[in-house]
Copies of this chain bind each other. A is one copy, B any other.
Amino acid sequence: MAAVDRSLVANLAMFAGLSPAEQDELLREARSVRYPKGTAVFNQGTEAERFFVLLHGHLRVEKTTPQGQQMVVRYVSAGELFGVAQAMNLKSYPATAVAAVDSIALSWPSSSWHRLIVTFPTLAVSALQTVGSRLQDTQARVIEISNEQVEQRVAHALLRLAKQAGRKVDAGVEIDFPISRQDVAEMTGTTLHTVSRILSAWEQQGLVEGGRQRIVLRDPHKLHILAEGNEADQVRGSAP
């Protein structure tokens, strides 16, 4: 566990608006941890002892139902607050957070939460914005799953990922961490086979390319049209 340098966090939303002295004070109780790819930051159902900010990398947040089904709830990117379960009055984490790539996070004891938000109201503001934003995203998922066909949902999911974690490459925009067909399926409420079929078809049409745990969006514009529906049939109509 290393002392945390203020320059690492100065441009994070959570620290915005704090003076250097305030930032140092907030960092005094912070602990920095590395999470190798594939390791869990916390597990669903375990006591919510700490809350976190991701400094580097990407996390996959997944939830397992009592019946054993698994869903990818979201991906967390660098700069984001996460694991604020106790702030939401939960005793335990409602999901598992796994490092999709090697990652680094800062964490604080949840027991400090209430004292910290009194001292730093901007922390509460930041948390509310983060949780609120996640609520809107999740509501949008409900609407997609209720109203859209799988192809549209997959298109939406890929576009979100490209926006959140896209890296420009020659062929287009690559999702900058390993992502399997099963992962996409768990984000969109479908099966890996259906995702595989869709991606295969899109590959033939030049919309995407990739391979094992890799997806490149070659034509984000056409995917966007697909995602919005209506004109989907037109795009399909132009395929052989």
Contact = CB atoms under 8 A, between A and B. Distances in A.
Contacts of A89: 129, 132-133
How many copies of the chain does the oligomer comprise?
2
A171 interface: no
A189 B138 CA distance: 14
Contact of A142 (B88, B127, B145): B145
Contacts of A146: 69, 71, 145, 189
A69 B143 contact: yes
Contacts of A117: 121, 124-125
A136 interface: yes
Given A145-B189, A146-B189, A128 B87 contact: yes
Contacts of A121: 114, 117-118, 121, 124
B88 A139 contact: no
Contacts of A189: 142, 145-147
Contacts of A129: 87-89
Interface size class of A (residues with CB under 8 A): 35 or more
Interface in A38-83: 63, 65, 67, 69, 71, 73
A84 B90 CA distance: 21
Contacts of A71: 142-143, 146-147
Nearest to A73: B139
Interface of A: 63, 65, 67, 69, 71, 73, 84, 87-90, 94, 114, 117-118, 121, 124-125, 127-129, 131-136, 138-139, 141-143, 145-147, 189, 229-230
